[in-house]
Amino acid sequence: MENKATIKIVKPKLSNNLNTFDLTEDNILDYDTITEAHISDCYLSGCEADRISFNEVVFENGTINGVSLQKADLIDVRFENCDLCNIDFSEASLLRVEFVNCKIVGINFSEAVLKDVLFTNCNGQYALFRFSELKQVLFHECQMRFSDYQESKFTKVEFRNTDLTQGQFFNTKLKDMDFRSCEIDGISARVEDVAGMIVSTAQTITLVSLMGIVVR
């Protein structure tokens, strides 16, 4: 079921004249700022850079695996066709950021703040959003099985045609959120967390199981 989007995501504000930038493990540095850059086909693995800033940057066809970017600041950034598995974005700040056709398995957004962020056609299994704050965030046609949103604050967050099987939502309020186009089998949450959640008739069996009721 395709539900009409109810939130509007502000797109990244990107210059038409981005400069080509070769991002390597040698020039990704703590507290550095990279701005107005087009980064294509980069490969990073296992390195780290705390409090790095990206402003008006497009990442395309890159592989950035297992990199620690704690407390990073991303403003007006697009990731397209990138492999971003196991990046540590904990305590990061993201404003007007898009993830398009990206592999984000195991990505860590714990304690991060995300505003006007789009995830579309992404594989985000095991992604972590614990203790994060999401405002005007859209997950569209994503694979988010086993993703974890415990203790998060949602404001105008929408999941559309997204697989949330075995997702964790403990202490995260889902009132008025529409999950009818999503797979929600096996999600974990408290009864008070799912109160007011919008689901299809077929999905009610999942919510009934959260209440400890056995349907035979």
- The count of domains in the chain is 1
Determine which helix (DSSP H) or strand (DSSP E) holds 204, and give its type and residue range: helix 204-210
Classify residue 205: in a domain, yes or no: no
Classify residue 206: in a domain, yes or no: no
Is it the case that residue 204 has pLDDT exceeding 90? no
Classify residue 58: in a domain, yes or no: yes
Per-residue pLDDT at 4: 55
Classify residue 82: in a domain, yes or no: yes
Ranges of beta strands (E only) in 19-172 are: 19-20, 33-40, 43-45, 53-60, 63-65, 73-80, 93-100, 113-120, 133-140, 153-160
Per-residue pLDDT at 203: 87
Over residues 129-135, the mean pLDDT reads 99
Per-residue pLDDT at 209: 76
Q: Is-contact 178 158, C-beta < 8 A? A: yes
pLDDT per position as a tens digit, 25-54:
999 999 999 999 999 999 999 999 999 999
The whole-angstrom separation of Cα 64 and Cα 50 is: 15
Classify residue 193: in a domain, yes or no: no
The whole-angstrom separation of Cα 78 and Cα 92 is: 16
Q: What is the CATH number of the domain that holds 32?
A: 2.160.20.80
Output 72 or 4, whichever has higher pLDDT: 72
pLDDT per position as a tens digit, 50-68:
999 999 999 999 999 999 9
Is it the case that residue 205 has pLDDT exceeding 90? no
The token pair that represents 70 in the structure block: 């704690």
Classify residue 192: in a domain, yes or no: no
Q: Confidence band (pLDDT; 50, 70, 90) for 213?
A: low
Per-residue pLDDT at 214: 60
pLDDT per position as a tens digit, 165-196:
999 999 999 999 999 999 999 999 998 999 89
The whole-angstrom separation of Cα 77 and Cα 197 is: 31
Per-residue pLDDT at 3: 54
Classify residue 194: in a domain, yes or no: no
Q: Confidence band (pLDDT; 50, 70, 90) for 98?
A: very high
The set of residues, in sequence order, having a beta carbon less than 8 Å from that of 209 and lying 6+ positions away, is none
Classify residue 67: in a domain, yes or no: yes
- Give the range of the structural domain holding residue 51, as residue numbers without chain letter: 19-171
